[in-house]
């Protein structure tokens, strides 16, 4: 009860950040459901559509560190509200596009830039500031879990509208949902009025803070292995609808699978947010990457069925956004809150390079080979390597004097 009372003043900020993140991630993760009808209608190829998604992820990754640094100077409210407006504009451009240029500009450049201001880095940085350190990891898990609900709403809404009225009406439905991000971002921006606690050694400038982080081997390894996370997740959100369509499955199964991912995302984010407050966050990251890879290998070596697809989506959903509270929480614990969004953005850049590869690489392999076999095999191999390196390195460093707490012991 005392914890609930302590969190009560922070609730408007936490709710605003959760709604903004939920819609930003849910709409973005559901764009793949429009790929089959959009490519047929506009005459572009699968690799053309995935180029737009790849550009989106690259723009997001390139701009995320800058958005995190600007948040310190300009305030989070300006960036988040501006990002919500830009997100809506990107969807309008996509809904009215007639060829590759419009798809790349709308779904790619514009939405990518918007996500840098409305995605997990700024949303979780806003949620970190008004809560006590003792419950920070759990709160970040709750906000990440709320951020998973968007896919449960967006995917079915978009699929139903696209099936009944065409893909353009489906995208216009997304435009309506995106408008709700504006008041949510404004409310989350109340965090600007709160003081930022200072932490020794955090750096007095963005350059100094970045230098401190890059000299920390744990940060460097975490950033490099984050590549695996982006590659696997964006490969799935972009190409799973196409894969199911290729296998002759009901188009609604794609929306159901994305909705299932969103539903189990909630449970996974809550669990890993809670677990990150008790065990080594970086070892838990390695576990997630390894487990995802094994699940991917199981699904793509089996004959796809509706039941198997939904089970697969549920397991992947549980392992999906649990990385967000772990990464954000570890950065806040290690480097402080002032530059949390920027440093999270630097690590996230590696994630987005992986996303670029997962989206575009999957499309190119499909166009050249006529199947996704080589694409998922590469994803599994790199995922296993990244998971083992992340967990092993974090474990070895935690056993040294001055290292992080061992993974199966309560965090201090």
**Residue 400: band (very low, low, confident or very high) from pLDDT cuts 50, 70, 90:** low
Over residues 28-44, the pLDDT tens digits come to 878 877 877 888 888 78
Instruction: Report whether pLDDT(113) > 80.
Output: yes
Instruction: Report whether pLDDT(406) > 70.
Output: no
- Percent of the chain at pLDDT > 70 equals 90
pTM for this structure?
Answer: 0.71
| CATH number for the domain whose boundaries are 8-192+203-398 | 1.20.1250.20
Q: In this predicted structure, what is the pLDDT of residue 20?
A: 92
Q: In this predicted structure, what is the pLDDT of residue 410?
A: 36
Mean pLDDT on 173-179: 92
Mean pLDDT of the chain: 80
Instruction: Report whether pLDDT(392) > 70.
Output: yes
Instruction: Report whether pLDDT(89) > 60.
Output: yes
Q: In this predicted structure, what is the pLDDT of residue 199?
A: 58
Over residues 8-31, the pLDDT tens digits come to 667 888 889 888 988 998 888 788
Instruction: Report whether pLDDT(315) > 80.
Output: yes
Angle between helices 217-246 and 251-276 (to 10 degrees): 160
Over residues 317-344, the pLDDT tens digits come to 888 777 877 887 888 778 777 777 778 7
Q: In this predicted structure, what is the pLDDT of residue 174?
A: 92
Q: In this predicted structure, what is the pLDDT of residue 4?
A: 54
72 or 282: whose pLDDT is higher? Answer: 282
Rounded Cα–Cα distance for residues 149 and 268 (Å):
12
Over residues 272-300, the pLDDT tens digits come to 877 877 788 888 888 898 998 998 888 88
Mean pLDDT on 57-85: 84
Q: In this predicted structure, what is the pLDDT of residue 84?
A: 93
Q: In this predicted structure, what is the pLDDT of residue 329?
A: 80
């Amino acid at each position: 009860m005392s914890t609930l009372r302590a969190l009560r003043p922070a609730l408007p900020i936490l709710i605003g950040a959760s709604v903004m993140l939920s819609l930003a991630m849910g709409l973005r993760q559901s764009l793949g459901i429009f790929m089959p009808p959009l490519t047929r209608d506009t005459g572009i190829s699968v690799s053309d559509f995935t180029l737009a998604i790849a550009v989106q992820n690259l723009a997001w990754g390139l701009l995320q560190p800058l958005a995190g640094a600007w948040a310190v100077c300009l305030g989070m409210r300006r960036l988040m509200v501006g990002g919500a407006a830009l997100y809506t504009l990107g969807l309008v451009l996509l809904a009215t596009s007639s060829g590759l240029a419009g798809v790349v500009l709308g779904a790619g450049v514009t939405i990518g830039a918007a996500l840098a201001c409305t995605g997990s880095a700024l949303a979780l940085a806003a949620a970190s500031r008004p809560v006590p350190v003792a419950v920070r990891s759990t709160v970040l898990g709750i906000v990440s879990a709320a951020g998973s609900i968007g896919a449960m709403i967006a995917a079915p809404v978009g699929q139903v509208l696209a099936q009944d009225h065409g893909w353009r009406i489906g995208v216009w439905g997304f435009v309506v949902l995106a408008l709700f991000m504006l008041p949510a971002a404004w409310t989350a921006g109340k965090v600007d009025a709160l003081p930022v606690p200072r932490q020794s050694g955090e750096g007095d400038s963005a350059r100094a803070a970045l230098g401190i982080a890059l000299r920390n081997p744990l940060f460097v390894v975490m950033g490099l292995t984050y590549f695996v996370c982006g590659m696997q997740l964006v490969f799935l959100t972009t190409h799973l609808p196409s894969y199911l369509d290729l296998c002759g499955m009901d188009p609604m199964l794609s929306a159901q699978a994305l909705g299932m991912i969103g539903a189990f995302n909630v449970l996974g984010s809550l669990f890993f947010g809670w677990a990150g407050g008790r065990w080594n966050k970086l070892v838990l990251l390695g576990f997630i990457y390894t487990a995802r890879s094994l699940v991917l290998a199981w699904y793509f070596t089996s004959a796809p069925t509706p039941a198997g697809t939904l089970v697969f989506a549920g397991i992947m959903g549980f392992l999906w956004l649990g990385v967000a509270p772990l990464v954000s929480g570890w950065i806040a614990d290690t480097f402080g809150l002032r530059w949390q969004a920027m440093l999270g953005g630097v690590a996230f850049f590696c994630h987005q390079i992986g996303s670029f590869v997962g989206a575009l690489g999957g499309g190119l392999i499909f166009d050249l080979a006529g199947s996704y076999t080589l694409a998922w095999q590469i994803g599994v191999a790199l995922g296993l390597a990244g998971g083992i390196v992340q967990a092993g390195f974090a474990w070895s460093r935690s056993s040294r004097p001055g290292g992080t707490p061992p993974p199966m012991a309560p965090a201090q």
